[in-house]
Amino acid sequence: MNTIHVEHQNILVVFPHPDDEAFLVSGTLAMYIGAGAQVTYACLTLGEMGRNMGIPPFANRVTLPAIRKEELAASCRAIGIQDLRMLGFHDKMIEFEDQQLLDDQIMMLLKELTPSLVITFYPGYSVHPDHDATGAAVIRTIARLPVVEQPLVHCIAFSSDHEKMIGKADVTIDVTAYLAKKMESIQSHRSQFQAAELVGERDLNDEEIQSRFGTEQFWTYRFD
């Protein structure tokens, strides 16, 4: 059951890796877009240090960035995302990046788009250092806005201790109606999705797809 019924005009999604959007929020975004939202996806890197190269491997370290760029664009088309921004940071290096540079780019997007909803990772509970550093930059930047200008922030969290630390998700979205788009988005990431911990090499049946991908969850970030 959906726990959210708010309509959003402009939504900004900030993640570091092509495919973060596919597994985590593609159904939710397709839902909002179906209701008329404009979505901007700021993807910080090209995932060029990713270890999945396709099964059997068809990509290598040199060709991976261009391949993942194409995959990302295809995934956005599948979801219906109108505005994809590739910010050009180096994969795995977000936590070491010049914070001012990072924050300035996020601030520019916030000023330009004035989103009512921002979706990012929950800093500290998102496993990959790039995820945590991206979420931290977004939260840090939004915290600098006057309170009345602060958008709603929905975070993704999946570290093994997240529920103990921040409780259960307060936003649960049933994306059953958008599973076709979600699977198309996931499968756009040809070099990635066959990895065992993602989808695997075997075709999944409808029940498996429903139970693994049918629900998306978010934690509303509290700035106070």
Q: Which residues bind other proteins (CB under 8 A)?
A: 49-63, 92, 127-130, 159-160, 194-197
Shortest CB 62 distance to other proteins, Å: 6
Contact segment (CB under 5 A) with Zn ion among 11-19, 64-72, 198-206, 208-216 equals: 11-19
Pairing state between β 215-220 and 171-174: antiparallel
Number of residues assigned to the chain: 224
Contact segment (CB under 5 A) with Zn ion among 17-25, 71-79, 112-120, 203-211 equals: 17-25
Cβ distance to other proteins smaller for residue 137 or 153: 137
Beta bridge partners, 156, equal 121
Q: Which residue is nearest to Zn ion (CB)?
A: 17
Cβ distance to other proteins smaller for residue 164 or 222: 164
Least Cα distance to 118 among 213, 25, 17 occurs for 25
17 binds Zn ion (CB under 5 A): yes
8 binds Zn ion (CB under 5 A): no
Shortest CB 190 distance to other proteins, Å: 13
Cβ distance to other proteins smaller for residue 131 or 182: 131
Q: Are 194 and 54 in contact (CB under 8 A)?
A: yes
Shortest CB 94 distance to other proteins, Å: 11
> How many angstroms separate the Cα of 118 from the Cα of each of 84, 177, 185, 214?
15, 23, 20, 21
Q: Are 213 and 176 in contact (CB under 8 A)?
A: no
Residue 74, burial from CB neighbour count under 10 angstroms (0-12, 13-18, 19+): middle
Cβ distance to other proteins smaller for residue 55 or 145: 55
Shortest CB 162 distance to other proteins, Å: 11
20 binds Zn ion (CB under 5 A): yes
- Residue 20's binding partner out of other proteins, Zn ion, none, with CB under 5 to 8 Å set by partner kind: Zn ion
The size of the interface with Zn ion (CB under 5 A), counted in residues, is 2
Cβ distance to other proteins smaller for residue 108 or 196: 196
Question: What tokens does 68 get?
Answer: 């993942």
Q: Cα-flanking dihedrals φ and ψ of residue 219, to 5°? A: -115, 125
Q: From CA 194, how far away is CA 86, in angstroms rounded?
A: 24
Least Cα distance to 85 among 33, 38, 35 occurs for 38
Sign of the alpha-carbon dihedral angle for 130, 133, 135, 141: negative
Cβ distance to other proteins smaller for residue 179 or 195: 195
> Which residues contact Zn ion (rule: CB under 5 A)?
17, 20
